[in-house]
Amino acid sequence: MDETNDLMRQRKEKLNEIRDAGIDPYPHKYEPTHTTQGIHEKYQDVNDTPDEKNRVTIAGRIMTKRDHGKSSFAHLQDSTGRIQVYVRRDGVGPDSYLIYRRFDVGDIIGVSGVVFRTRTGELTINVDTVKLLSKSIRPLPEKWHGLTDKQTRYRQRYADLIMNPEVKEVFLKRTQIVQAIRDMLNEQDFSEVETPILQPIYGGASARPFTTYHKTLDQPLYLRIANELYLKRLIVGGYDKVYEFSRDFRNEGMDRDHNPEFTMLELYQAYADYIDVMKLTENLIANTVEKIHGTTKITYQGQQLDFSPPWQRMTMIESIKEHSSFNPETLSEDELYSKAVQAGIELDGNESKGQIIAELFDTFVEDKLIQPTFIYDYPIEVSPFAKKKPENPEFVERFEFFIAGMELGNAFSELNDPIDQRQRFLEQAANLAKGDDEAFMVDEDFLRALEYGMPPTGGLGIGIDRLTMLLTDQYSIRDVILFPQMRPEN
């Protein structure tokens, strides 16, 4: 590493000088009376004459420092913003001033003083007491260009957050989004629950899991790929409305909208079907957008998006008809297969009709769905937990919704027929045996739960990271995850 560089050596020397002067460079606490933002709001009207009634104490990180002989200006940054401080030798006393001159950009200090306005009109604290709160021995990036290298920003998010205030805005918004959703669900009498992340049998989605091992139990465990089957167990147990913000883990590739660990909101409502869930979804998301932005119309990467309900609804078959040159309804399985091959889709010939339809959808339709759109009625083969459509058992009551060409969520009328569910599990288990590493095992305990009887239920999953991308206008999922997955540096 770069511990030997000159800048760090110099800072360590200053640290020792400060210690030698009898000052603790890492004291235990400090009691600010204000935040920088609070000062800007409260003291808008102060003039250039310092007045003792405008006394404040703040703590923050030195971001700029301009020393001029026996006085100095600096900007301190706290969690709410920045403010200028003016430190004079006559203000703090010669001993303190000498120590202050050993402070560097990056150091965290506390100051007390009186708010006034400088000759150039900037609100400033005229400091009379200064205290070192934490000595920084590693230099921050430069004040003007800041930190732009993506690798460093993702690996050292702490430095990114210090240097790039807009990054912090994104993550504060993420917090607000989650809070808005939580508030709305709580108002609607949903119960927030916690279910296992370490699961002996993974399921509820099609994905390769991460595997770990429990020594005492002497058995493998899987990091959840979904929490669906646990939440449905709770519906069996008598919860009518449950949800969980679930950190899920999928052992798959990473790209602009996939991170190996991500956050999914899953919710289940007894006695509802997927049409009810569609209404819930568009209202939940539209209200969230409105709470965050004050409107349901936002711009994402230059595209106007309108979240106001009702959203467009199309069956999967209709959507393929609209966005391709053929009508899948009128084609045989062989003809569909040919269309897929013509479109460049790689198939091994063992795919079912439903799998081919889903592939055609992915290729012809998905990236064209810019405005919020529900695509509903999915092939049964790709939907092992959804209820069949009464009039057509090849399809299930399932929808996904798409915005800006991204899949944002997935929902269905939950399959509650234990006999049918067992059959679907057996098909998955057969696929697993054939080498499909995204298929999953039979979950006997889940089947036992269904055998007790689960009410008709509507379920929903929403990708919170992707929703945050939309609402913060970020191109990459890595920009809405504080610590995105990276290869080790060395």
Partner RNA sequence: GCGCUGUUAGCUCAAUCGGCAGAGCAUCUGACUCUUAAUCAGAGGGUUGAAGGUUCGAUUCCUUCACGGCGCACCA
Q: Site residues for RNA, window 155-214 (CB under 7 A)?
A: 205-207
* Tokens of residue 304, six digits: 């106007």
**Which residues, 425 to 454, sit near RNA by CB under 7 A?**
438
Closest distance between RNA and the C-beta of residue 197, in Å? 17
Tell me the per-residue interface mask from 71 to 90 with RNA, x by CB under 7 A, - otherwise. x-x----------x-x-xxx
Residue from 28, 29, 53, 151 touching RNA (CB under 7 A): that is 151
d(CA 112, CA 58): 7
Reduced 3-state DSSP string for 233-265:
HHHHCCCCEEEEEEEEECCCCCECCECCEEEEE
**Count of C-beta atoms within a 10 Å radius of residue 345:** 16
d(CA 342, CA 330): 17
Assess contact for 413 and 386: CB atoms under 8 A. Answer: yes
Q: Is residue 66 part of the contact set for RNA (CB under 7 A)?
A: yes
* Tokens of residue 15, six digits: 């640290």
What are residue 261's phi and psi, to 5 degrees?
-120, 140
Q: Is residue 69 part of the contact set for RNA (CB under 7 A)?
A: yes
The β-bridge relationship of strands 191-192 and 241-249 is parallel
**Which residues, 93 to 112, sit near RNA by CB under 7 A?**
104-105
Nearer to RNA, 78 or 400 (CB): 400
Question: Across the strands, what pairs with 314?
Answer: 375
Nearer to RNA, 450 or 481 (CB): 481
Residue from 53, 68, 215, 434 touching RNA (CB under 7 A): that is 68
Closest distance between RNA and the C-beta of residue 300, in Å? 14
Residue from 29, 53, 434, 487 touching RNA (CB under 7 A): that is 487
Residue from 79, 148, 212, 338 touching RNA (CB under 7 A): that is 148
Q: Is residue 475 part of the contact set for RNA (CB under 7 A)?
A: yes
**Which residues, 324 to 353, sit near RNA by CB under 7 A?**
345-346
Assess contact for 404 and 373: CB atoms under 8 A. Answer: no
With residues binned 3-state (H G I as helix, E B as strand, rest as coil), the percentages for the chain, rounded to 5, are 35, 30, 35
**Which residues, 287 to 316, sit near RNA by CB under 7 A?**
none
Q: Is residue 361 part of the contact set for RNA (CB under 7 A)?
A: yes
Q: Is residue 371 part of the contact set for RNA (CB under 7 A)?
A: no
- Find tokens 């012809």 and name the residue: 364
Question: Any idea of the CA torsion for 396, 378, 256, 304, to the nearest 10 degrees?
Answer: -110
Closest distance between RNA and the C-beta of residue 303, in Å? 14
